[in-house]
Structure 1
Amino acid sequence: MAVGILPGQVNGWPPKCSFDSDTDSTYPPLHTPPSPLSAVNEPSSLSRPFFWEIVPLCELYSIAHIILLPSSLRLSYNQSPLRTGSNNTNGVNGTNGHQPRSEPPSRFMNALTNLGLGPSNWTHAGVSVFTAILPTADGYVARSDFLRLRLQDFPFSISKIQECVASFKKYTACRLSSSSVNSEDGLANLIEQAAAVIQWGDLEASVSILNLQHYLLGLTHELRDRLNNAPWLTTHPTPRKRLALIRGRPNLTAGGPIYRAARALNLDLVIVDDEGHWLQPDADDNRMHCEAFVATDMTEDAGVADRIIASIKRYPLPIHGVFTVSDNFFVTAARVADALGLPTNPVSAFETSVDKYRSRLLQDAPGHTARVTSVEELNTLLTAPTNGNAAFTPTYPLIVKPTKGWSSECVSKVSTPADLALAVQKATSRHGSAAVIEPFFDGPEIDANFVLLDGEILFWEVADEPPCQADRRDASVQDTFSPEALTLPSALPEREQAVVRDTLRDLLVRAGFRTGVFHVEARVVHSGCEYRDVGGGVIDLARKEGGSADGADKVACKLIEINARPPGYRVSVPSRHTYGVDFFAAHMLAAVGDHERLRLAARPFDHHVGEGRTRGAQYWSRLVYVPAPKAGVVRWAVSSSGLPPCEELRRRRPDLAERIVVAVDYCVPGERVTLYTDGARTYVAHFLVCSRVSRRDAIEVGEEVLRAFRIEVDED
Structure 2
Amino acid sequence: MAIGVLPAQVNGWPPANTSDSDSESAASPPPKTPPSPLSAVNGPSSLRRPSFWELVPLCDLYSIVHVVLLPISLRLSYTTSSTHNGASTPTGPNGTTRVNGLNGHCQHLAPPTRLAGALAGLGLGPSNWAATGVSVFTAILPTADGYVNHSDFLTLRFQDCPFPISKIQESVGPLRRYTACRLSPAAVSSEDAVADLIEQAAGVIQWADLEASASILDLQRYLLGLTHELRDRLNNAPWLTPHPIARKRVALIRGRPSLTAGGPVYRAARALGLDLVIIDDEGHWLQPDTDENKIHREAFLATDMTEDSGVADRILASITRYPLPIHGVFTLSDNFFATTARVAASLHLPTNPVSAFETAVDKHRSRLLQDVPGHTARVASLAELDALLAPGPNNTQPAFNAPFPLIVKPTKGWSSECVSKVSNPTDLAVAVRKATSRHGSAAVIEPFFDGPEIDANFILLDGEILFFEVADEPPCRADADGASVHDTFSPEALTLPSALPEREQEVVRETLGGLLVKAGFRTGVFHVEARVVGSGCEYRAGGEEGGKGVVDLLPREGERGKGVECKLIEINARPPGFRVSVPSRHTYGVDFFAAHMLAAAGEAERLRLVARPFDHTDEGRTKGAQYWSRLVYVPAPKEGVVRWPTGLAPCEELKRRRPDLAGNIVLAVDYCVPGERVGMFTDGARTYVAHLLVCSRVSRKEAIEAGEEVLRALKIEVEEETA
- Indicate whether the TM-score tops 0.5: yes
Give the match for residue 713 of structure 2. 708
Distance in 2 separating the partners of 1:121 and 1:333: 55
Q: Is contact 2:60–2:143 with CA below 8 Å preserved after alignment? A: yes
Distance in 2 separating the partners of 1:232 and 1:443: 40
Of 466, 471, 491, which aligns to 1:463? Answer: 471
Q: Is contact 2:48–2:109 with CA below 8 Å preserved after alignment? A: no
Aligned counterparts, 1:142-541, within 5 A: 142-385=149-392, 391-535=399-543, 536-541=548-553
Q: Cα deviations across residues 85-106 of structure 1 (Å, max 9, x unaligned)?
A: 7424678799xx9977753322
Amino acid at match of 1:429: S
Q: Is contact 2:62–2:143 with CA below 8 Å preserved after alignment? A: yes
CA RMSD in angstroms comes to 2.2
In the superposition, relative to structure 1, how do residues 73 and 271 fare at CA in structure 2: closer, same or farther (>3 Å)? same
Distance in 1 separating the partners of 2:301 and 2:370: 40
Of 104, 109, 112, which aligns to 1:105? Answer: 112
5+ unaligned residues in a row in structure 1: which ranges?
1-34
Of 577, 587, 591, which aligns to 1:578? Answer: 587
Q: Is contact 1:43–1:86 with CA below 8 Å preserved after alignment? A: no
Q: Is contact 2:48–2:110 with CA below 8 Å preserved after alignment? A: no
Greater Cα radius of gyration, structure 1 or 2: 2
Shift of 1:47: 3.0
In the superposition, relative to structure 1, how do residues 80 and 253 fare at CA in structure 2: closer, same or farther (>3 Å)? farther
Distance in 2 separating the partners of 1:83 and 1:227: 38
The alignment partner of 2:218 has SS state of helix
Amino acid at match of 2:559: G
Shift of 1:537: 3.7
Give the match for residue 43 of structure 2. none
Distance in 1 separating the partners of 2:382 and 2:398: 21
Q: Is contact 1:37–1:82 with CA below 8 Å preserved after alignment? A: no
Q: Cα deviations across residues 98-154 of structure 1 (Å, max 9, x unaligned)?
A: 977753322222111211224426571111111111110001111111111101001
Shift of 1:76: 7.7
Give the match for residue 4 of structure 1. none
Bigger mean CA offset, 371-380 vs 119-128: 119-128
Distance in 2 separating the partners of 1:80 and 1:161: 38
Q: Cα deviations across residues 538-585 of structure 1 (Å, max 9, x unaligned)?
A: 11000000133xx31x10000000000000000000000000000000
Q: Is contact 2:51–2:70 with CA below 8 Å preserved after alignment? A: yes
Distance in 1 separating the partners of 2:628 and 2:342: 40
Identity in percent: 75
Distance in 2 separating the partners of 1:561 and 1:81: 73
The alignment partner of 1:201 has SS state of strand
Distance in 2 separating the partners of 1:537 and 1:247: 45
Q: Is contact 2:533–2:567 with CA below 8 Å preserved after alignment? A: yes
Amino acid at match of 1:361: L
Aligned counterparts, 1:73-92, within 5 A: 73-74=74-75, 86-88=87-89
The alignment partner of 1:436 has SS state of strand
Bigger mean CA offset, 69-78 vs 588-597: 69-78
Give the match for residue 6 of structure 2. 40
Give the match for residue 116 of structure 1. 123
Q: Is contact 1:181–1:187 with CA below 8 Å preserved after alignment? A: yes
Q: Cα deviations across residues 52-99 of structure 1 (Å, max 9, x unaligned)?
A: 1111110000111111111333378877999967424678799xx997
Distance in 2 separating the partners of 1:120 and 1:496: 54
Of 563, 573, 598, which aligns to 1:589? Answer: 598
Q: Cα deviations across residues 415-457 of structure 1 (Å, max 9, x unaligned)?
A: 0001001100000000000000000000000000000000000
Give the match for residue 686 of structure 2. 681
Shift of 1:679: 1.1
Q: Is contact 1:38–1:84 with CA below 8 Å preserved after alignment? A: no
Q: Is contact 1:462–1:489 with CA below 8 Å preserved after alignment? A: yes
Bigger mean CA offset, 485-494 vs 232-241: 232-241
The alignment partner of 2:467 has SS state of strand
Shift of 1:389: 10
Distance in 1 separating the partners of 2:510 and 2:301: 41
Amino acid at match of 2:7: N
In the superposition, relative to structure 1, how do residues 310 and 36 fare at CA in structure 2: closer, same or farther (>3 Å)? closer
Bigger mean CA offset, 389-398 vs 705-714: 389-398
Give the match for residue 135 of structure 2. 128
Shift of 1:390: 8.1
The alignment partner of 2:209 has SS state of coil
Distance in 2 separating the partners of 1:454 and 1:80: 66
Of 660, 668, 691, which aligns to 2:665? Answer: 660
In the superposition, relative to structure 1, how do residues 393 and 166 fare at CA in structure 2: closer, same or farther (>3 Å)? closer
Q: Is contact 1:605–1:616 with CA below 8 Å preserved after alignment? A: yes
Distance in 2 separating the partners of 1:56 and 1:85: 28
TM-score between the two structures when normalised by the length of structure 1: 0.91
Give the match for residue 624 of structure 2. 616
Distance in 2 separating the partners of 1:47 and 1:503: 63
The alignment partner of 2:175 has SS state of coil
Amino acid at match of 1:378: L
Distance in 2 separating the partners of 1:186 and 1:84: 23
The alignment partner of 1:161 has SS state of strand
Shift of 1:237: 2.0
Shift of 1:42: 3.0
Shift of 1:331: 0.4
Shift of 1:488: 0.1
Distance in 2 separating the partners of 1:439 and 1:454: 32
Q: Is contact 1:123–1:202 with CA below 8 Å preserved after alignment? A: no
Q: Does residue 1:61 correspond to 2:27, yes or no?
A: no
In the superposition, relative to structure 1, how do residues 531 and 67 fare at CA in structure 2: closer, same or farther (>3 Å)? same
Distance in 2 separating the partners of 1:580 and 1:103: 43
Q: Is contact 1:59–1:228 with CA below 8 Å preserved after alignment? A: yes
Shift of 1:672: 1.0
Q: Is contact 1:534–1:540 with CA below 8 Å preserved after alignment? A: yes
In the superposition, relative to structure 1, how do residues 150 and 681 fare at CA in structure 2: closer, same or farther (>3 Å)? same
Distance in 2 separating the partners of 1:285 and 1:324: 22
Bigger mean CA offset, 175-184 vs 83-92: 83-92
The alignment partner of 2:369 has SS state of coil
Amino acid at match of 2:628: W
Aligned counterparts, 1:10-49, within 5 A: 37-43=3-9, 47-49=48-50
TM-score between the two structures when normalised by the length of structure 2: 0.90
Paired residues, what number?
Answer: 674
Q: Is contact 1:60–1:136 with CA below 8 Å preserved after alignment? A: yes
In the superposition, relative to structure 1, how do residues 119 and 540 fare at CA in structure 2: closer, same or farther (>3 Å)? closer
Shift of 1:39: 1.7
In the superposition, relative to structure 1, how do residues 469 and 85 fare at CA in structure 2: closer, same or farther (>3 Å)? farther
In the superposition, relative to structure 1, how do residues 78 and 193 fare at CA in structure 2: closer, same or farther (>3 Å)? farther
5+ unaligned residues in a row in structure 2: which ranges?
11-45
In the superposition, relative to structure 1, how do residues 98 and 534 fare at CA in structure 2: closer, same or farther (>3 Å)? closer
Q: Does residue 1:545 correspond to 2:553, yes or no?
A: no
Distance in 2 separating the partners of 1:441 and 1:78: 76
Q: Is contact 1:646–1:709 with CA below 8 Å preserved after alignment? A: yes
Amino acid at match of 1:51: F
Bigger mean CA offset, 595-604 vs 194-203: 194-203
Q: Does residue 1:138 correspond to 2:168, yes or no?
A: no
Q: Does residue 1:629 correspond to 2:641, yes or no?
A: no
